[in-house]
C-alpha cells in the first residue's frame, strides 16, 4: 500500500468529517469537490469500511468514521503544532494564530492592534473566530480564548487584556424625547428594550445593577433582539429602544451626543477580560509576541 497516499487521503477525510461538507473541505485543501469525493471513496475501498454518510444536503460520519476522526484528528493537530514550532528557529515569525473571542473584545481589544502587528510580521496569519458562547479551545484547536476573568477555567493561564468592564443603560435623544427616561431600574419594564441573544435559547434580558451595595436583577421586555452587539448598538442609535451595553462600547457615542447614559449611579462593573491558553501549550515566538501585544498595562 502507498503509505503517503493513504495518509493524504486520511487527512482529506478528517477535513471533510470536521467541516461536514465536501465543498468547504475542498476549498481548504485547494482541490475540486469531485476529486475530493473520489479520494474518500478510494480510502473507503482500501479500508473496506464506510466512513461517511452522504446525502444531497449533508455529510456525517458513520460510527466507524467517527471513531477514526476522534483518534486521528489530534495526531494531525500535533503534527501541525510541531511544524509551527519550527518557527522558533527562524528570524521571522510565521505560522497561524487562532483566537476564539466574543464580539466586543474582538472589535475593541484585538482588531485595533493587529494592523501594525501584521505589518511587522507579514508571514504571520491570524484567525479571529467570533463566538459569544463558551468554547473548549483545546478541543476546537484554538491557540487562545478570550473571556471575562470569572469565566476562565482554573487550569488555564490567563493574561489580563482590559480594564474592568462597566455597563451602561443608553438611549438616543429622539427616543428619550418621545418616551422619556426610566425613573429607576424598575421602570425599565415600561420601556422598549433591545437585548442581545447569545443563542436561540438564551437572551440577555436580565440586566444587572448595583443598588445600595446589593446586586439587583431586572428582567426587561424583549422588544428587539439581535445576536450581534454591534446591531444592538446601531438600533439604539437609531432610536429603536434602550439597551444595556459595556460603557467602552458606547463611550464615543455618548461623548458625541448620539446616545445618553441613564441610571448611571446603578451601573454594575464586571471583571476585566483575559486572554487564556492551556498551561501545557508550547508557545511559539509569534504567540509570545501576541500575548505581549494584548497585555493590558495600567496607565
Q: Would the pTM of this model clear 0.85, i.e. be above it?
A: no
Q: How far apart are the first and last CA of the chain?
A: 63
Q: State the residue range of the domain holding 55.
A: 3-79
CB-neighbour burial class of residue 160 (10 A; exposed 0-12, middle 13-18, buried 19+): middle
- pLDDT given at position 4: 55
Residues 31 and 118 in one domain: no
Instruction: Show Cβ contacts of residue 72 under 8 Å, excluding neighbours closer than 6 positions.
Output: 10, 14
Burial 35-58 (b: 16+ CB within 10 A, else e): ebbebbeebbeebeeebbeeeeee
- pLDDT given at position 273: 92
Residues 71 and 115 in one domain: no
- pLDDT given at position 149: 78
Residues 171 and 189 in one domain: yes
Separation of alpha carbons 20 and 49, rounded Å: 19
Write out the three cell numbers for 93. 515569525
- pLDDT given at position 176: 97
134 assigned to some structural domain: yes
Residues 244 and 283 in one domain: no
159 assigned to some structural domain: no
Domains: count for the chain: 3
Q: Would you say the C-alpha torsion 178, 184, 185, 189 has a positive or negative sign?
A: negative
Residues 120 and 188 in one domain: no
Largest CA distance in the chain: 77
Residues 32 and 75 in one domain: yes
H helices then E strands: how many in the chain?
10, 16
Q: Would you say the C-alpha torsion 110, 113, 115, 116 has a positive or negative sign?
A: negative
84 assigned to some structural domain: no
160 assigned to some structural domain: no
- pLDDT given at position 67: 92
- pLDDT given at position 268: 95
187 assigned to some structural domain: yes
What interhelical angle do 111-120 and 285-294 show, nearest 10?
140
Residue ranges in the chain modelled with pLDDT below 70? 1-5, 84-92, 200, 298-299
Residues 187 and 242 in one domain: yes
CB 133 within 8 A of CB 198: yes
Write out the three cell numbers for 240. 429603536
Separation of alpha carbons 83 and 281, rounded Å: 14
| Residue 269 CB neighbour total at 10 angstroms | 11
Nearest alpha carbon to residue 36 among 57, 67, 70, 59: 59
Amino acid at each position: 500500500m502507498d503509505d503517503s497516499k493513504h495518509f493524504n487521503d486520511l487527512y482529506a477525510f478528517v477535513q471533510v468529517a470536521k467541516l461536514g461538507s465536501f465543498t468547504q473541505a475542498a476549498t481548504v485543501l485547494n482541490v475540486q469537490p469531485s476529486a475530493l469525493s473520489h479520494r474518500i471513496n478510494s480510502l473507503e475501498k482500501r479500508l473496506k469500511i464506510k466512513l461517511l454518510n452522504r446525502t444531497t444536503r449533508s455529510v456525517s460520519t458513520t460510527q466507524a468514521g467517527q471513531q477514526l476522526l476522534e483518534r486521528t484528528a489530534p495526531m494531525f493537530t500535533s503534527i501541525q503544532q510541531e511544524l509551527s514550532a519550527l518557527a522558533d528557529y527562524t528570524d521571522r515569525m510565521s505560522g497561524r494564530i487562532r483566537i476564539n473571542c466574543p464580539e466586543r473584545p474582538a472589535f475593541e481589544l484585538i482588531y485595533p492592534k493587529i494592523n501594525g502587528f501584521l505589518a511587522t510580521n507579514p508571514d504571520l496569519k491570524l484567525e479571529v473566530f467570533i463566538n459569544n458562547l463558551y468554547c473548549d479551545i483545546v478541543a476546537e484547536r484554538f491557540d487562545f480564548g478570550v473571556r471575562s476573568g470569572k469565566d476562565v477555567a482554573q487550569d488555564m493561564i490567563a493574561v489580563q487584556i482590559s480594564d474592568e468592564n462597566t455597563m451602561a443603560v443608553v438611549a438616543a435623544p429622539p427616543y428619550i424625547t418621545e418616551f422619556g427616561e426610566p425613573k429607576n431600574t424598575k421602570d425599565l419594564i415600561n420601556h422598549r428594550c433591545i437585548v442581545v441573544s447569545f443563542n436561540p435559547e438564551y437572551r440577555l434580558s436580565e440586566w444587572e445593577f448595583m443598588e445600595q451595595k446589593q446586586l439587583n436583577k431586572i428582567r426587561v421586555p424583549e422588544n428587539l433582539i439581535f445576536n450581534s452587539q454591534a446591531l444592538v448598538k446601531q438600533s439604539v442609535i437609531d432610536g429603536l429602544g434602550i439597551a444595556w451595553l459595556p460603557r467602552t462600547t458606547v463611550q464615543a457615542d455618548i461623548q458625541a451626543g448620539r446616545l445618553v447614559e441613564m441610571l448611571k449611579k446603578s451601573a454594575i462593573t464586571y471583571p476585566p477580560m483575559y486572554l487564556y491558553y492551556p498551561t501545557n501549550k508550547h508557545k511559539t515566538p509569534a504567540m509570545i509576541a501576541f500575548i505581549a501585544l494584548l497585555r493590558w498595562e495600567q496607565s
